[in-house]
Amino acid sequence: MTQVNSTSSTIVANLQISLHSGSQVFELSVNSEFPSTGITAILGESGSGKTTLLRCIAGLEKSAKGLLKLGETTWLDDKHCVPTYEREIGYVFQDARLFEHLSVQGNLQFAIKRSHEKVQKAFYAEVINALDIGHLMQHKPDQLSGGEKQRVAIARALLVKPKMLIMDEPLASLDNARKQDVLPYLAALQNMFHLPILYVSHSTDEVCRLADHVIVLHQGKVVSQGSINDVFASAQLPHIYKQETSTIIKAKIIEKDERWHLIKAEFDGNTLWLQDHNKAIGKTVRLRIIASDVSLSLQDEKESTILNRLEGRIGGIEIDKKGATALVTIDLTNSEIVAQVTRKSIDDLFLMVGMKIWVQIKSVAILG
């Protein structure tokens, strides 16, 4: 295993860039610190500047101005601009960009020869194993499926021994079945190689599944950032993602009910019943509860088809003044959950901060 010293790989970015294409001008202005651990997702719709931001970090946008540091190393300031080939990053492009004239092995060797650090045989074997590409070594890129290409591209990026891995929508060009070929490898990467990962995506599903931290970009500006749950469980989530507002929690499977095909998951002293998807007891899973799938009731409605009912207290109510809805935060035992309800219901039930309330959860997604 390669252990990367986490404090040495925080990215400090204070970047401005104006890109001109024809009469169009795109401005990106970011002042952020990217966590040095875990997967940080950069979320935004197309045209929000996600890819441009990554390209600035990699040094591929020559007109970027500002300050950029990885740990103690300054990559960009008023006087200097470290060229891409000296920045210790691994970059996975949306379109893989394998070298067509080289075999898979040739592509990997290309990276190994140029790594600033010697690549040990054991590490090489570990990367090939982790991405399951051992059987593809002699193939040329044009003989690979889209998913295989991406796995090779990820392996190639890891083999330059980067201090940070940057991925630009590595799944965007793949169809759904191929996505499933790559997603599990992505989830495992972080655990195996302890590399901070910057991951760009426009898919909230992918982000909720993979990311520990999120930065939301909108029209070239950071509109929200924080831990995955802080961003998604907040009323500050940008308007386009309003329907995606959700509580994201880590839970542990503690019980199986064979008869009803259910499993019981525990988080911070609360429990939920979930459909059994062959998850083993003791396994930690990430759960996503979409706020609009949560309803509130003043008493425990036992005569209901809703299996998951939790008791809590209202911790906060945020009203969307322009719309019909409100986001209610409910304090559970050592935890929180958000519910999206109508403003009318708040009024009808006289809901107020501090009130005791029952939370009814219609569905829970297991993100793996």
Which residues contact another protein by CB under 8 A?
Answer: 58-60, 83-86, 89-91, 93, 95, 97-101, 110-111, 114-116, 140-142, 156-157, 160
Which is closer to another protein, CB of 82 or CB of 192?
82
CA distance 284 to 287: 10
Backbone φ and ψ for 321, nearest 5 degrees, come out as -65, -25
Minimum separation from the CB atom of position 162 to another protein (A): 9
Which is closer to another protein, CB of 189 or CB of 327?
189
Backbone φ and ψ for 316, nearest 5 degrees, come out as -170, 150
Q: Which of 3, 339, 65 is nearest to 194 (CA)?
A: 3
Minimum separation from the CB atom of position 45 to another protein (A): 23
Minimum separation from the CB atom of position 7 to another protein (A): 23
DSSP state of 283: -
Amino acid at 242: K
Minimum separation from the CB atom of position 14 to another protein (A): 22
Minimum separation from the CB atom of position 93 to another protein (A): 6
Which is closer to another protein, CB of 116 or CB of 356?
116
Which is closer to another protein, CB of 60 or CB of 307?
60
CA distance 348 to 244: 25
Cα end-to-end distance, the chain, whole Å: 23
Angle at 339 between CA 333 and CA 342, to 5 degrees: 145
Which is closer to another protein, CB of 168 or CB of 181?
168
Which is closer to another protein, CB of 57 or CB of 364?
57
Minimum separation from the CB atom of position 172 to another protein (A): 15
Largest Cα–Cα separation, the chain: 70
**What Å distances lie between residue 114 and 83, 101, 300, CA to CA?**
15, 18, 63
